[in-house]
Amino acid sequence: MMVTYFFVFLFVGIIGYLGYFTYVKADEYRTNEYNSKRQTIFADRFVRGDIVSSNGKTLATTTTDDDGNEVREYPYGSMFAHVVGYSTKGNTGIESLASSYLLNSSINPFVRAVYELRDKKSPGDTVVTTLDTRLQAAAYDALGDNKGAVVAINPKTGEILAMVSKPDYDPNEINDIWDELVDSDNKNSNLVNRATQGLYPPGSTFKVITALEYIRENPGTYSNFHFDCDSIYESGEYQIRCSHGVSHGEENLKEAFAASCNGAFASIGETLNFASMYQLCEDFGYNKQLPVNLLSNASKFTLKDSSSLWDVLQTSIGQGQTTITPLHNAMIAAAVANGGVMMEPYVLDHVENENGNVIRSFSPKTWRTVMTKDEADLLKDLMRAVVTDGTGSNAQGDGYTVAGKTGSAEWASGKDTHAWFIGFANVDDPEIAVSVIVEEGGSGGSVAAPVARAVFDAYYEAKNS
């Protein structure tokens, strides 16, 4: 009898495994960039569909040249290079993520049969994204010639509204410039999407995490925090200096956060339980793959109770071995904006056929709750003070309110710091969260915050138009 049960269980398992690959993983394997034979079969039957922005602009389309050859065109050139990607030399970005929809036609079967009888390809389905060309253009222009990245998301849903990475490339010329692109250093290649793959020290943007851990460990006394900053904080043989040698004087927690006082937060770090801090960081997504279907790297947090004092001091202010991607930092800002709930970021809104009928829609999903609403409100208050009374005033535009955190992250001796800003608007009813990194930009408040403001301005201008 046991033998019979074993074989029945084995048979059911095989059927379940077959069903999983047939129905759940079919699209992924069918259009995987390494499945070139299958890709060729579908490309022979369907004209690759369009990729469209949320405001109705074509981001990728297939045309025919004078010789009758299909040509993939990207009307916005390098502006959407990394997030939209390319469909030759393999697939990247949305071209890869949505390939199973682009190389499929959901038109009436009779109409499809007519196309086949006439030896013509059926039109591929159209993929409508969450990206907005107005925000993308604002982010792209504001970043200018700098290396870095900008990410904008809807904190309530996780919709990716804009994603820019520089240096970039023109996907219209990918075949001509391919050898040049792949010959460059991998980490500095124009092909790298710095928004999802770039790992940077978070600098003072990490003080959001340090502040939260301090509030949790001192629930009844955190409001009594007091620090007298004379520009240098000494602990044992080590010194932590405030940016540009500024002495902030007498500070409470909000004032220290707004001024981005390194000494105050290094002193806080010394008091924390870093086993608890480690767990908090993992709860926020450090050391884990983010739930996004774009090529990405996991942010890193390694500090534990056994770490050296120097590592504790450095990590508390966002230095040390901690690294984070711009997308992840946007998600952290969004979680504060969204009452402690971190949403899964996504870039596909829906798929529609040639007639405009919606074939599939993608809905918001909660990834995890990383803090209580009360804790989020406390952080929101601290981040608001950064913009009203601290280092982030350049993020504030007209007609909306902003909360955020600046950062100037040291990364190499003798090099200018990376400039960071993370934040959201409006403060009372957040609709957009932004993360900006400008490599070797210097001051986050002077360089990154204005980039964020440009994105906020574009969002509210579009909303009110």
Instruction: Please provide the CATH number assigned to the domain covering 203-347+363-464.
Output: 3.40.710.10
Q: Which residue has the tokens 């990207």?
A: 74
For residue 268, give Cα distances in angstroms to 195, 298, 310, 351, 389: 30, 26, 14, 49, 21
Predicted pLDDT at 59: 99
The continuous run of DSSP H or E covering 180 comes out as helix 174-183
Predicted pLDDT at 22: 46
Predicted pLDDT at 238: 94
Q: Are strands 122-123 and 46-47 parallel, antiparallel or unpaired?
A: parallel
DSSP 446: I
State which residues of the chain have pLDDT below 50.
21-24, 31, 36-37
Domain ranges of the chain: 203-347+363-464
User: What span, in angstroms and rounded, lies between the C-alpha atoms of 419 and 324?
Assistant: 13
Predicted pLDDT at 42: 60
Cβ proximity of 200 and 324 under 8 Å: yes
pLDDT by residue (tens digit) across 345-399?
A: 999 999 999 999 999 999 999 999 999 999 999 999 999 999 999 999 999 999 9
pLDDT by residue (tens digit) across 140-157?
A: 999 999 999 999 999 999
Q: CB burial class (10 A; 0-12, 13-18, 19+) of residue 438?
A: buried
Predicted pLDDT at 446: 97
- Model's pTM, two decimal places? 0.91
Helix residue ranges, H only, 198-325: 207-217, 253-259, 262-271, 274-283, 309-316
In DSSP notation, 333-379 reads: HHHHHTTTEEEPPB-EEEEE-TT--EEEE----EEEE-S-HHHHHHH
Structure tokens at 282: 């993992």
User: What span, in angstroms and rounded, lies between the C-alpha atoms of 31 and 147?
Assistant: 32
Task: Name the phi and psi angles at 131, rounded to 5.
Answer: -75, 145
**CB-based contacts of 170, cutoff 8 Å, min separation 6:** 74, 77, 78, 81, 177
Cβ proximity of 259 and 253 under 8 Å: no
Dihedral angle, C-alpha 172, 84, 199, 324, nearest 10 °: 160
Return the SS3 of 402.
Answer: strand
Closest to 216 (Cα-Cα) out of 69, 371, 436, 400: 371
Radius of gyration for the alpha carbons in the chain, expressed in angstroms and rounded: 25
Closest to 440 (Cα-Cα) out of 448, 451, 432: 448
Closest to 47 (Cα-Cα) out of 34, 66, 64: 64
Residues 274-283 as b or e (16 or more Cβ within 10 Å = b)? beebbebbee
User: What span, in angstroms and rounded, lies between the C-alpha atoms of 276 and 278?
Assistant: 5
